[in-house]
């Protein structure tokens, strides 16, 4: 079976990266499922941050309200991928199936972040912030900005680790890899 990455923690979020390793029982459905998930992750800065930012702390140029919407849409897309590639259809140990990993990620990382911050930021944005300000200047007035972005950077860092694991385990092309 091979060795597994440890459980990763950052801030108040934990991610267990134990997913089925590339092997003889890996099917094209497995790789297609992984590729669809990877595509959703790699094309959303809201999920994995900017490629050139190893710490996932660079939020420059982002409009947080739109990025929160993108993160929520990713959550919905991941759920759809889980439905499209059910555990019984894909080979390997069902407890180490990618769909189980996606569920753990949604339960332990994405949902807690969204539950803590999405409504709080949206309510402040729509009801308490100054709409006359430039949107970038407006969002930095959020009273809990530092804690909000610290949590979000943790989520992005963990999701990037998940993305890297997908590339390694399923032998995917890493579209975000920097050319030498």
What is the pLDDT of the chain when averaged over all its residues? 85
Q: Is 162 within a domain?
A: yes
- For residue 15, report the phi and psi dihedrals to the nearest 5 degrees: -140, 120
pLDDT at 3 over 50: no
**Structural domain boundaries, residue 78:** 23-170
pTM (two decimals): 0.87
Q: Is 177 within a domain?
A: no
Q: Is 8 within a domain?
A: no
Q: Is 56 within a domain?
A: yes
Output the pLDDT for position 1. 36
The tokens for 41 are 């992750």
Q: Is 5 within a domain?
A: no
Percentage with pLDDT > 70 across the chain: 83
Pairwise CA distance, residues 115 & 81, whole Å: 22
- Into how many domains does the chain fold? 1
Q: Is 106 within a domain?
A: yes
Q: Is 10 within a domain?
A: no
Q: Is 76 within a domain?
A: yes
């Amino acid at each position: 079976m091979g060795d597994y990455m440890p459980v990763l923690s950052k801030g108040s979020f934990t991610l267990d990266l134990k997913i089925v390793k590339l092997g003889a029982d890996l099917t094209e459905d497995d790789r297609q499922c992984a590729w669809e998930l990877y595509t959703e992750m790699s094309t959303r800065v809201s999920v994995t941050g900017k490629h050139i930012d190893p710490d996932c702390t660079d939020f420059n140029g982002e409009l947080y309200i739109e990025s929160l919407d993108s993160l929520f849409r990713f959550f919905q897309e991941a759920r759809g991928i889980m439905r499209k590639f059910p555990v019984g259809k894909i080979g390997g140990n069902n407890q180490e199936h990618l769909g189980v990993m996606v569920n753990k990620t949604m339960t332990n990382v994405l949902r807690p972040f969204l539950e803590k911050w999405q409504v709080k930021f949206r309510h402040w944005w729509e009801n308490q912030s100054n709409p006359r300000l430039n949107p970038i200047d407006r969002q930095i007035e959020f009273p809990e900005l530092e804690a909000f972005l610290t949590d979000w950077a943790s989520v992005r860092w963990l999701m990037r680790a998940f993305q890297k694991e997908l590339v390694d385990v399923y032998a995917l092309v890493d579209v975000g890899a920097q050319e030498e």
